[in-house]
Amino acid sequence: MDAFYASVEQRDRPELRGKPVIVGADPKGRGVVTAASYEARPFGVHSAMPIRTAARLCPHAIFLPVDMTKYARVSAEIMAILVEFSPLVEPISIDEAFLDITGTSGLHGPPLMVARAIKRRVGAKVGLVASLGVAANKFVAKVASDLGKPDGLVEVPAGSEAAFLAPLPIRRLWGVGAATERELASLGIATIGQLARMPPATLEARLGRSGRHLHELARGRDDRPVDPWGPPKSMGAEETFARDHSDLDRLQRVLREQAERVARELREQGFAAARVVLKLRFADFRTLTRSGTGDPTQDGLEIYRRAIDLLRRVELRGPVRLIGLSVSALGPPAEGQLSLLDPGAARRERLARVVDRLASRFGADSIRPASLIRRPNSD
């Protein structure tokens, strides 16, 4: 979906159509842009930008708060349309999904005809514009959908994937962030085609195992299936402070609260997480992440302990603007296989179930760890 949150707001409020709309935090606060309409983008506004920066670049924009309940409802309507064309639909976010239409041509026609029908149906039923990419695999279809925005439809015929990708910048590859882009630039690689021509062994020597994976993607190869039944990729929580913090106790309390929130979501959805990721953004907007992997868990205290261990490895050279905690490598909970090294784990698991029932009945804040009770004069 194109500028999804902002587009929903423009749909529901006709007076906003054709005007720059920015969905996110209060422009006088310290949050970030969640979505920006295409009218706001020529001014340099983009998602994840500090909201104050967006207000400075586009002071005449209409700023609106995030309404996740509404966006989730619209997302469900869109996903229901996709299922009409194939049962193999894999949502990857609230506004994006992969659809496998292999074997459906007898019902719906060739792929390009299906894509056009989806665009028409989303427009007619939901009143929004979608961009689609049609290709033989997930990665190339994703790139194609991005290149066509807004209101795009790009088809990459089977066999032409490498030629399609070759002129694109390497940042279009999944897994290429700023650090990897700099590393590849040091090898004289600026485009996907240049990366595809590099020997895989050279890339692996410089980038580790991800080097060979990037080489496969650069050649248009991606054998991952569309998986409608797979678990979510991750769960997480983060907080942008009203003022920057260097107080370690404050950071630890926030992490404790985030760990409990994430653990509750894991238990609600029936998952355990093996990987814990800590995210810190400093006052100068420098952002770093640290991660660790252990036994799968849905225990808030255990997730918190792993996050604190990651925090202790970070040298806090300046005040922190944002702190976040997420979990990934999700799988089924290993009931009955709790660590023998932590005799309190079984007791905490039973306690967590009781807390979940209380929270469901009386609200998430009805019962909390004592360390989260705010002290006088704390903020």
- Please give the sequence-ordered ranges of beta strands (E in DSSP) within 15-100, or none if there are none: 21-24, 33-36, 62-64, 89-93, 96-99
Nearest to 350 by CA among 336, 340, 363, 371: 336
Contact 213, 175 (CB under 8 A): yes
DSSP of 237-254, one letter per residue? EEEEEEEEE--HHHHHHH
- Specify the DSSP class assigned to residue 191: B
SS3 call for 307: helix
Spatial contact of 264 and 356, defined as CB atoms under 8 Å apart: yes
Q: State the catalytic residue, choosing from 9, 15, 84, 96.
A: 96
CA-to-CA distance for 317 and 171, rounded, in angstroms?
A: 29
Residue 96 is among the residues annotated as catalytic for this protein: yes
Ramachandran region, residue 93 (left: φ > 0; alpha: ψ -120 to 50; beta: rest)? beta
Phi/psi for 154 (5° steps) reads -120, 125
CA atoms within a 13 Å half-sphere pointing along the CA-CB vector of 221: 7
Question: Which class for 252: exposed (0-12), middle (13-18), buried (19 or more C-beta within 10 A)?
Answer: middle
The amino acid occupying position 30 is R
- CA dist., res. 162 & res. 194, Å (int): 11
- List the structure tokens of 212: 């060979």
Confirm if 1 and 7 have CB atoms less than 8 A apart: yes
Q: How far apart are CA 49 and CA 92, in angstroms?
A: 22
Strand partners, 280: 288, 323
- Cα–chain center distance at 8: 19
Instruction: Name the E strands within 20-88.
Output: 21-24, 33-36, 62-64
Report, as residue numbers or ranges, the catalytic residues: 96
